[in-house]
Amino acid sequence: MGSTPTRIDRAPWYAKKAYSSRTIQVGGTAVTLMQPTFTTDRGLIDADTKIRYMVEDARSVLSRAVLIPDANRISPLLGELFNPENKMDFSPSMAWGTIKPKLIKIQKNLAAPHSIKVVGTLDTGGMGSVKFYNDGTGDIHLAKRLFEAGLRGNATLTYLHEASHKYAGTVDHAYWKKLTGVWRDNRIHWCYDPKITNDQALNNADSFAFLLYHLPGPNWRY
């Protein structure tokens, strides 16, 4: 009836998320932590410590992984993650020949200065994302809830998963998931969902993240 609603133009900042950024030193390397400035996307509490622990844990496991002299030392783990087809002639050394150069790329890049965006929610609805695979642009995004209590290790795991996309060009053929009661013993099993081939596993982000996750050593504080 008569009155036209006032049209409010959206300010330019509405379309593009505004981030506050701070640079922290982790092992002498600058890591830029970016968080949305909006109150609806409130930032991490005690962010510096959490990010520092996560980066330290990731670097620690990566630096050990790239020094593994002989793939046979971790052959059960390589078999579990990189031989989903259960091939009799699976060779841990051959798989390692493909895996190791990718781990070196991830290790070098996470040891260098980089940015990490921690956001309340991701467009994908997942725990992490990175926009462009394997071209070095686009920040690693992590969901804030990864740093909440009860999700120990998940931030580091997700960080490694996203870093494998960003720096080693991995894709998501399948996620490594916990399934209960799918075998007769009714225990919890982990497997790829959906099933993938051995070749796909060699370029699958979760295969790399969980390989690193299962190597002995770090505390996985975040």
Cα separation, 63 vs 45, in Å, equals 29
Q: What are the two backbone dihedrals, phi and then psi, of residue 165, each rounded to the nearest 5 degrees?
A: -65, -50
Cβ closest to Zn ion, residue 135 vs residue 172? 172
Burial of residue 70 (number of CB atoms within 10 Å: 0-12, 13-18, 19+): exposed
Least spacing, CB of residue 87 vs Zn ion, in Å: 25
Which window, 79-87, 116-124, 136-144, 171-179, contacts Zn ion (CB under 5 A)? 171-179
Angstrom distances, CA of residue 171 to CA of 97, 114, 131, 175, 209: 19, 21, 12, 10, 12
> Least distance from C-beta 172 to Zn ion, angstroms?
4
The structure tokens 């991701």 sit at 122
Terminal CA-to-CA distance of the chain, rounded, Å?
A: 57
Whether 144 and 151 have beta carbons less than 8 Å apart is answered as: no
Binding mask 174-213 for Zn ion (x = CB under 5 A): -------------------------------x--------
Select from 21, 113, 132, 172 the one that contacts Zn ion (CB under 5 A): 172
CB nearer Zn ion, residue 26 or residue 142: 142
Footprint on residues 89-128 left by Zn ion (CB under 5 A): none
Q: Which string of x and - marks every residue 123-162 that binds Zn ion (by CB under 5 A)?
A: ----------------------------------------
Q: Which residues bind Zn ion (CB under 5 A)?
A: 172, 205
